[in-house]
Amino acid sequence: MRFRFLLRPGWLALTLAVLLFAAACYTILAPWQFRRNAERVAQNAAVSSSLRTAPVPLDRLVSGSGEPAAVEWRPVTMTGHYLPSGEALARLRTVQGEPAYEVLTPFQLQRGGVVLLDRGYVRPVGDVSIPAFAAPPGGEVTVSARVRQDEPDNRPAFDRDGHRQVYAVNSAIVGQAAGLAIRPGYFELLADQPGVLNPLPLPQLDSGPFFSYALQWIAFGTMAILAWIYFTWRELQPGGVLTEHPAPSRRRSVAEMIAEEEAAERAERQAADEDARDRDRAHQRTG
């Protein structure tokens, strides 16, 4: 039967591998890249909008228990005073391609509640040591900042080199270490604000490679299926690789061929000697 090879274990394993790979491309890998592209597009739109929007009072934009995701990157103003005793440094950061620490300081709002301000970044000394940096101003101040979501991380804060340090900018982690009830999310100080150090730059407004990556995964899945169809068609043709063929004869070695030639020569010489002896005997009888 022409289709019998489809039931062979090797071909079944190949078919399963192709189907699993194509399914992963279509249902996991490509959608994942499409989601990342959609997130990047939404972020770019939010950042661009924030550049054209004047800061508004915090309470008008985010309620006391509201989720900052819907208004991320929007600029807000708030009045209160810094709580330097709750300050922490976010370690292992990269700003504009170089290592940095981000300085996180709780801020007591005038109308009640505590928020987390990201005062910007400082460069480590020798890529390791924490440098000296300015303390936040005392007394009541009004600052402008951009709304940000907490970074997901459950690792607790720890003390090292005389500073409280965290692995991510997360208001819950900083609040737990400082013994403060900090509202969800955090706020990046804008330039020229009281207490700001080196303000964090905005992300680059490009769409990134995610959309092209998604198309590539779709192409890879399609190519795998087309390759399987092609090889299946080829095996259905006469002389396919998996077609039953007689076992080829074993290739003779050079020594075997020389031995065969010598045996043939000996046989010829023996036959010639026999002919010569027969002629001699015949001549003797007739003489």
Question: Mean pLDDT for each consecutive 10-residue tract of the chain (287 residues)?
Answer: 71 90 94 88 76 82 58 90 96 91 96 94 87 93 93 91 93 94 93 93 79 93 92 74 53 72 82 76 68
Instruction: Give residue 72's pLDDT.
Output: 84
Dist. CA 232–CA 15, nearest whole Å: 10
Alpha-carbon Rg for the chain in angstroms: 40
Instruction: Give residue 65's pLDDT.
Output: 46
Dist. CA 194–CA 80, nearest whole Å: 11
Largest CA distance in the chain: 150
Q: Are 135 and 63 in contact (CB under 8 A)?
A: no
Instruction: Give residue 251's pLDDT.
Output: 64
Dist. CA 89–CA 168, nearest whole Å: 9
Dist. CA 221–CA 8, nearest whole Å: 23
Regarding beta strands 141-148 and 186-189, do their DSSP bridges make them parallel or antiparallel, or are they unpaired? Answer: antiparallel
Neighbouring C-alpha atoms within 13 Å toward the C-beta of 132: 0
Q: Domain-by-domain residue ranges, the chain?
A: 54-189
Dist. CA 114–CA 98, nearest whole Å: 31
Instruction: Give residue 33's pLDDT.
Output: 92
Instruction: Give residue 206's pLDDT.
Output: 74
Instruction: Give residue 25's pLDDT.
Output: 93
> Other C-beta atoms within 10 Å of 209: how many?
13
Instruction: Give residue 275's pLDDT.
Output: 76
